[in-house]
Chain A
Amino acid sequence: MTRVIMPETLESLWDAMTAAPEARLFCGGTDLLVRHRREGGGSLIGIDRIAALRGIRYQDGDVVIGAATRFSDILEDPLIRAHLPVLARGVAALASPTIRAMASIGGNIVTASPAADSLPALTVLSARLDLASPNAHRTVALREFITGSHATGLRPGEIVTAVRIALAPRPALHHAEKVGQRRMLSGTLVSLAAVIAMDDDGRIEQASLAFGNLGPTVLVSVEAEAELIGRRLDRDALAAAGVAVRRAARPQDDVRASAAYRLRLAGNLLFRLLDPKIPIVAEKYKGRETAE
């Protein structure tokens, strides 16, 4: 019989993991329970009752999102909507309202699907992850944590406890968009997350672009970003960045879409940044600037 343990504190989680080291962890269950039913499998430990893993707070210049925080809570959070709109937009397109009320950000990260909807936004925001095991803590960059399709640097006995995102010192243009076969409840063919900051003369000072589902992990093209730096945000600059992205991309060619179509989408999605109605200006954080 499959045992399902639902610890309510981190201490009881560590006890449960020590007692059943082969048990698989889950939070919302929207991914793992599908696989569990298909593959069978041993004991499960559910972490969604652990209050210490849930919630969104501001701490020392970072927005800190507990790993068990549901996407519906992220979407409604005023701090994230005002200052990290790229994340709100990225996860607004994730599955459906019901799934967003179940699924957790930590689960989306450790599942590490190439098509995961939170990962491009978290990548352009240079998110870091707090990892913990009973005797150790470490913080690693998301970009280093995810090592391949469905592969991460999570060590045995370790969990993700929180996601940390530093608030930017100045306003920036934020946009995230995914293209699927339908507008909603759709797998991602290609997705884009972008954060663009200009200097006082209107030239691009910082450009972070990340693409979902163009390879085994989120695609960041340093060459594409370099095409934008020092230029105005215009069609020529974005076309040049698109050429660089297409060169770096290794999209799938499958029943959902051809590789050629995905490459075309990747370049064309960048032109959304030119539409004055599309990118959102992320507000500069004016609240508690000093450490709490």
Chain B
Amino acid sequence: MSSLSFTLNGKPVSVDVADDRRLIDLLRQDLGLIGSKEGCGIGNCGACTVLVDGAPRAACLTLAAQIAGRHVVTIEGAATSPLLRLLTESFATHGAVQCGYCTPGMIMAAAALLVRTPSPSRHEIRDGMSGNLCRCTGYHRIVDAIEAAAGRLFAETAK
């Protein structure tokens, strides 16, 4: 066990954890943040996507030692992040959620996309979300939700 310090959703965290504890296990089992989901465990499904220093990462392929000193943002960050809150509301109003298992990863990947590409085309949204699988929705409403969120973001920043 080593002492690990990092920032989680804006707050400093220190935990004793094995160097090779996976971030997804650290979040869900050790810290009780169960919003991030594990799907495939090999980086193919996107359900565990979180942001580390603003970039998207698969929490199933990230070790505790890698996040020392980093800023980690999970879906629980929607409580304080306007962008995550906007996306969450847009997913709800557009019916972009069915079983919901992929949704936290979808929203984190969408946030990573909108930070780099604030006004994406539908094609760019599909490209940007191509690492996140959803077996329920058929994706159309997810794309709708992100497009609408980007539009609101644009309208608010233009004010």
Contacts and interface: CB of A to CB of B under 8 A. Distances in A.
A46 B66 contact: yes
Contact of A3 (B19, B113, B133): B19
Contacts, number: 84
Interface stretch (A98-106, A151-159, A210-218): A98-106
Interface stretch (B42-50, B81-89, B143-151): B42-50
Contacts of A97: 56, 109, 112-113, 127-128, 130-131
A36 B20 CA distance: 10
Size class of the B contact interface (CB-based, 8 Å): 20 to 34
B65 A30 contact: no
Contact of B62 (A3, A29, A184): A29
A21 B63 CA distance: 21
Nearest to A36: B20
Contacts of A184: 127, 130-131
B20 A30 contact: no
B153 interface: no
Nearest to B20: A2
A181 interface: no
Interface string B29-42: 00000000000011
Which of B22, B41, B64, B130 has the most A CB atoms < 10 Å from its CB? B130
Interface string A1-20: 11111100000000000000
Nearest to B128: A97
A19 to B, nearest CB: 15
Interface string B103-146: 00000010011000000000000011011110000000000000
B57 A101 contact: yes
B18 A2 contact: yes
Interface in B49-65: 49, 55-58, 61-65
A147 B130 CA distance: 33
B15 interface: no
Contacts of A36: 20
B68 interface: yes
A98 B58 contact: yes
Contacts of A95: 43, 131
A6 B68 CA distance: 9
A185 B55 contact: no
A5 B66 CA distance: 9
Which of A44, A99, A101, A185 has the most B CB atoms < 10 Å from its CB? A101
Given A96-B131, A101-B112, A72 B55 contact: yes
A33 interface: yes
Given A1-B18, A4-B20, A185 B130 contact: yes
Contacts of B132: 96, 98
Which of A3, A33, A96 has the most B CB atoms < 10 Å from its CB? A96
B18 A98 contact: no
Contacts of B64: 4
Contact of A185 (B68, B113, B131): B131
Contact of A33 (B46, B61, B112, B127): B61
A136 interface: no
A177 interface: no
A29 B41 CA distance: 13
19 contacts: A1-B18, A2-B19, A2-B20, A6-B65, A29-B63, A30-B58, A37-B41, A44-B19, A46-B66, A97-B56, A97-B112, A98-B43, A98-B56, A98-B132, A99-B43, A102-B43, A102-B62, A185-B44, A185-B130
Those 5 A-B pairs whose CB atoms lie nearest each other, nearest first? A96-B131, A184-B130, A4-B19, A4-B65, A2-B20
